[in-house]
Amino acid sequence: MTHSDLAAIVLAAGQGTRMRSRRPKVAHPLAGRPLLGHVLDTLDALGAGRRVVVVGPDMPEVQAIAAPAPTVEQAERLGTAHATLQARPALDDPPGTVLILYGDTPLIRPDTLRAMVDARAEAALVVLGFRAADPTGYGRLVTGADGGLDAIVEHKDASEAQRAITLCNSGVMAVDGRLLFPLLERVGNDNAKGEYYLTDIVALARADGHRCAVVEGNEAEMLGINDRAQLAAAERVVQDRLRAAAMAGGVTMTDPASVFLSMDTRFGQDVSVGPFCVFGPGVTLGDDVEIKGFCHFEGCEVAAGAVLGPYARLRPAAIVGEGAHIGNFVEVKKATVEAGAKVNHLTYIGDARVGAKANVGAGTITCNYDGFGKYHTDIGAGAFIGSNSALVAPVKIGDGAIIGAGSAITKDVPADALALTRAPQTTKERWAAMFRTHMKRLTGKG
């Protein structure tokens, strides 16, 4: 559900020099999703009907993340008020409330923003604050006797009494849409940095007789990401949230702290996950799936009752059918392993289909790449592939066929046939004993 009376401006023009990266800061991934993507997802959950993302020059990657939301460019980085003002062409008819958010602050929950929107009904401007364990460096929110916001005072400008205030400014605001751009136009840059600060609109609104208010959020939600250490700190917060949600939904985790999820990981009920498993983006698991330790999955789908691992790897476009087994040191890529099939040991299945109840022996590989193209291997239902076999694609193994261990199969095998390519075995009686005697005489050893 969207709110036509609510819009958002997301400031995402910063390059993030402290990240030491060629990638724009808001494009860095957090639990498999860009920082900016988290903010936009929160707006989706909130139901914000319109949003505009302010980007810097030459940021096609950020524009792609923002799509389909429109973007506007801040050609010169002259401060947060200047950045917000760039959104005016895209919001020429602002709704009742405009949220101003930051693309590098991805942890704020929808409920927190909803509380700000609700509070905006009684105030022209609402600032999101938090109680900092260490407020050093943060702007302080000075409130009046009625609980309203009187001023935002930067740390360097604060008196001793004001520095004792623990209520700090997050920078996130909800503003009356009719007032936002007229207030921004009046912001000056008479300060040490010569920048136009968004926080100055609080004093301007107060001077015009408008009420301003504060809504408090949790400090952990306000973490802004400016470097790799803060990115890692945010990852810990998000992973804790995701693990807690998964377990609340019916997932058993032997060692939750060693399991890493993505924002879009989807679990059925009664899934069990062993230690040291990683779920990259795009993983969906059905009910009663058992995942043993040290597995790595991305872009795959696993049906109910399947058993995977330990040390299994599912790569993009892997589909594992109901009750199938993918065992230790098995890699599956762009392949379907159908219901009840077993691929249990030291095997690579790529660009292939493994039919229902087929059994693929240890050390088997589908040879799907010749250095130029990828080719498909089709293994029929109930087929038995002997250990250490190489299936050279394109090739089809018929239903119920048997491939002898150690074979290199280059031609199609009919259903229920036996195919093998071993050379005949040669045995020479007592040859090993004679060899050892000869070598001892030759070398003088033993």
Do 260 and 244 meet the contact criterion of CB atoms below 8 Å apart?
A: no
Rounded distance, CA 443 to CA 150, Å?
Answer: 96
Ordered structural domains, the chain, with CATH = 3-222 (3.90.550.10), 228-419 (2.160.10.10)
Omega before 34 cis (within 30°)? no
Give the per-residue pLDDT at 1: 39
For residues 356 and 383, what is the distance between their CA atoms, to the nearest angstrom?
9
Report the C-alpha gap between 347 and 329 in whole angstroms.
7
Distance CA 202, CA 411 (A): 76
CA dihedral 419→424→430→433, nearest 10 degrees, is: -70
pLDDT for position 360? 98
Task: For residue 341, give every residue at least 6 positions away whose Cβ sits within 8 Å of its Cβ, in sequence order, or none.
Answer: 321, 324, 325, 354, 355, 356, 357, 358, 359, 360
Cβ neighbours of residue 14 closer than 8 Å, sequence gap 6 or more: 24, 25, 26, 56, 77, 103, 104
Nearest to 113 by CA among 122, 101, 95, 131: 101
Count the neighbouring beta carbons within 10 Å of the beta carbon of residue 41: 15
pLDDT in single tens digits along all 446 residues of the chain: 356 689 999 999 988 899 999 999 999 999 999 999 999 999 999 999 899 999 999 999 999 999 999 999 999 889 999 999 999 999 988 889 999 999 999 999 999 999 999 999 999 999 999 998 888 889 999 998 888 999 998 888 888 899 999 999 999 999 999 999 999 999 999 887 888 999 999 999 999 999 999 999 999 999 999 999 999 999 999 999 999 999 999 999 999 999 999 999 999 999 999 999 999 999 999 999 999 999 999 999 999 999 999 999 999 999 999 999 999 999 999 999 999 999 999 999 999 999 999 999 999 999 999 999 999 999 999 999 999 999 999 999 999 999 999 999 999 999 999 999 988 889 999 999 999 999 999 988 86
Active site residues: 345
Token pair for 284: 């969906």
Contact 231, 145 (CB under 8 A): no
Q: How far is CA 327 from CA 150, 238, 267, 348, in A?
A: 63, 30, 20, 11
pLDDT of residue 445: 82
Strands (E), 284-324: 284-285, 290-291, 296-297, 300-302, 307-308, 313-314, 318-320
* pLDDT confidence of residue 49: 81
Q: In sequence order, what are the residues at sequence separation of 6 or more whose Cβ sits closer than 8 angstroms to the Cβ of residue 357? A: 338, 339, 340, 341, 381, 382
**Claim: this prediction has a pTM higher than 0.85:** yes
Backbone phi, psi, residue 442, to 5°: -70, -40
Length of the chain: 446
> N- to C-terminal Cα distance for the chain?
85
Whole-number pLDDT of residue 2: 54
